[in-house]
Amino acid sequence: MPSERAAGALLPESPVKNLAGVGPKKLALLEAAGIRTVADLLYAYPRTYEDRTRILTLGEMQAGQPAAFVAQVLSAGGKARYIPGRKKVPYTVLVGDGTGTAQIVFFNATWLGNLFLPGRRFLFFGSPEPRFGHMQFVHPDFERLPDEAGEEDAKAAGILPVYPLKAGLAQREMRRWHKDALSAAPHVTEYLPDEILGARNLPTVQAALTAIHYPDSREALKAARARFIYEELFLLAVGLLQVRARRTDAAVSAIKFPRKIKAEAFEKTLPFTPTAAQQRVLREVYADMEAPRPMNRLVQGDVGSGKTAVAMGALFKAVGSGYQGALMAPTEILARQHHASLRAVFPQMSIALLTASATAAQRREILASLAAGEVDILIGTHALLQPDVAFARLGVVITDEQHRFGVSQRINLKQKGKSPDVLVMTATPIPRTLAFILYGDLDMSVIDEMPPGRKPVMTKALTSARRDDVYEFVARQLAEGRQAYIVAPRIEEDEAADASGLRSAEGLYAEMQGTLSGYEVALLHGGMKREEKERVMEEFRDGKIRALVSTVVIEVGIDVKNATVMVIENAERFGLAQLHQLRGRVGRGSAESYCFLLTDSKSEEAIERARTMTQTENGFEIAEKDLALRGPGEFFGVRQHGIPNLALADLSKHAKLLGKVKADAEQLLKADPELLAPRNEALRERIDMLFADVRDIGI
Ligand code: ADP
Ligand code: MG
């Protein structure tokens, strides 16, 4: 045992209650924040830092610029006390340093007691605001110094961590605990291989942990952060690559679909010639199905690129080989649409539809024939996930619009068979780097080509000054026999929203009775009853309804070729991905189509979004732009269950680094796929822990 590991010394695995000042109350608060051990505390990084390396004089301080200064108390404004009934009771301290004076203000500061006595010296850190001829600091950080300047002053200087605080925890406590915890830093295990630290010029974990909490210099801090950013991405990359590799090896029991059912045979059943991209992806899918491991493939394709045909191809092969198939869609409307198109293409098959609107008797009948193996293909919504939905020989499972489902739902459906092949489809294009993180466990195919004859959708961003022109144009399109979508950001009228100029679907619907009088106009929104929504959609598809006023419920998957105009009101309220999806509802037939984005927003981001929409129709370009504008939050809204957190790494900023990290991870796993070498033991343990969830659900 090394001598530092003496009894009583803090170790990474020590519980935080061993730290001085952590009683039962504080312990509960720390644990609620996920901090149980000293190591957890070490890995809970500061939110930001106070740079006290340079101490300014009051004369040098600039309004709005946080900095450190040392000053003496000149007078304190009365007692720090609490007056019942008054919310904010100020307590004011006047301080000076010979170059100027400043007012320090605390509210409801009973806890300050008699700390600020005239003559005492303090180091403050804060951002001054000019107030009534004075410089004012509200709730600055402070630390008492000896009354005479001396050596002690230097100790208070430096770069200080600022921790994110949960209610009930104070910054000074967190600082003290972190500082104490640092004595355990030398014992923290290094996960990163030496050669990577060397090649990427990164500090060791022990050095980096110390430097990220109490850096000696800005450079040391930068190096420490770089190391942890690398570490986060590396753990993620190694874990995901392993999950994928294990899936490839392990599946002994997977179905090996016979080769004799070929893609060409399926393609002949289609009413159109598949695009080269569809053909390529279809062959990737068939190769997966014929392989002895289970398929786990994501098909990404822009709205209208024809993903359904690929799904049909997989079902065709499964059914032709004597298996059943399942196709799950996020909305009833979409499930019905798939049901109709599949029945048209496969008239000889038994294709059932199961949604929440099936009656008990219908449901019983469907489930019975499904279990008896009489149903070839079951199409439906979340209703497919219910426990009593049981297949006789489930061979392939397809999830459409995967981003609308959670990973656990995908897994749930898959578990209805014995290692069935899994295909998931999404119309939300994901930049490659992010796709690796989000779907690193899946193989990926991209349909990067549109069916022929599709014309670009003429897209215009206009202010409300042109609104009347837009609707006049809509009326002319309707007169030519076309149909239109009109989308609003909200359902109901509401005074506050009206005042801010926000349109509602209900308000627009009323307005359109006049503007588009003579044409059948209907309303569609998420608050309506299911049967009502279905009736409206059916009538719109049949051309009876000519203009559909709606909220974003129409975003997903609807295919009405005769619809040629999309008007989006308050376009600033929609994200780029949504705008792109909405526009994808038109331009599906051979007629010229139009998309109008109405917005009066002056927000730079909204303007940039509108500009992007008018400049490109390429979903991947739009996704990259979205990522740049909004960061990865949007994409991580659909984060997979079980993927470790990123505290410092930011995928939009570190996309390039991720490429290098992935290459390093691949190289490491090539030499030691299961990380069995003794030198990789710590890394293996860490990854097994981080990815425990993913392994348990057996992706
Ligand atoms: P998405 O990828 O958005 O799900 P769909 O599969 O719904 O797209 O296809 C959109 C429309 O394009 C459908 O009407 C479909 O029949 C049609 N389509 C798909 N592929 C082709 C093709 N190769 N040639 C012509 N039309 C096609
Ligand atoms: Mg689709």
pLDDT tens by residue, 352-394? 999 888 899 999 999 999 999 999 999 999 889 888 999 999 9
> Rounded distance, CA 49 to CA 648, Å?
14
Which atom in ligand 1 lies closest to the alpha carbon of residue 341? 16
CA of 305 to the centre of ligand 2 (A): 8
Q: What is the mean pLDDT of residues 542-550?
A: 95
Q: Which pLDDT score is estimated for 6?
A: 47
CA of 399 to the centre of ligand 2 (A): 10
Gyration radius of the chain's alpha carbons = 31
DSSP state of 63: T
Is it the case that residue 618 has pLDDT exceeding 90? no
| Residue 326 structure tokens | 């399942």
Pocket test for ligand 1, best of 275, 303, 307, 308 (most atoms within 8 A of CB): 308
Q: Is 354 helix (H, G, I), strand (E, B) or coil?
A: strand
Q: Is the distance from the beta carbon of residue 276 to the nearest atom of ligand 1 less than 6 Å?
A: no
Structural domains in the chain plus CATH codes: 2-44+181-221 (no CATH), 54-157 (2.40.50.140), 257-290+306-426 (3.40.50.300), 458-616 (3.40.50.300)
DSSP state of 160: E
In DSSP terms, 76 is beta-bridged to: 93
- Give the ligand whose atoms come closest to the C-alpha of residue 308: 1
User: How many C-beta atoms surround the C-beta of residue 244 within 10 A?
Assistant: 16
> Rounded distance, CA 179 to CA 185, Å?
10
Q: What is the mean pLDDT of residues 232-256?
A: 76
Is it the case that residue 695 has pLDDT exceeding 70? no
- Give the ligand whose atoms come closest to the C-alpha of residue 400: 2
Is it the case that residue 197 has pLDDT exceeding 50? yes
Degrees, nearest 5: CA angle 269-275-278: 80
Q: Which pLDDT score is estimated for 697?
A: 39
Q: What is the mean pLDDT of residues 29-53?
A: 90
Of residues 251 and 675, more confidently modeled: 675
> Rounded distance, CA 605 to CA 627, Å?
12
For atom 23 of ligand 1, the residue with the nearest CA is 274
Q: Is the distance from the beta carbon of residue 304 to the nearest atom of ligand 1 less than 6 Å?
A: yes
Q: Which pLDDT score is estimated for 277?
A: 96
Which atom in ligand 1 lies closest to the alpha carbon of residue 275? 23
DSSP state of 373: T
Q: Is 472 helix (H, G, I), strand (E, B) or coil?
A: helix
- Give the ligand whose atoms come closest to the C-alpha of residue 559: 1
505-526 confidence digits (pLDDT tens):
999 999 999 999 999 999 999 8
> What are 645-654's contacts with CB under 8 Å, separation 24+?
646/232, 646/233, 646/236, 647/43, 647/45, 647/228, 647/232, 648/45, 648/225, 648/228, 648/229, 648/232, 649/229, 649/232, 649/233, 651/433, 651/434, 651/437, 652/627, 652/628, 654/229, 654/233
Which atom in ligand 1 lies closest to the alpha carbon of residue 301? 2
Is it the case that residue 635 has pLDDT exceeding 50? no
Q: Is 106 helix (H, G, I), strand (E, B) or coil?
A: strand
Residues comprising the chain, all counted: 699
Is it the case that residue 253 has pLDDT exceeding 80? no
Q: Is the distance from the beta carbon of residue 282 to the nearest atom of ligand 1 less than 6 Å?
A: no
Q: What is the pTM of this model?
A: 0.63
Sign of the Cα torsion 176, 181, 185, 191 reads negative
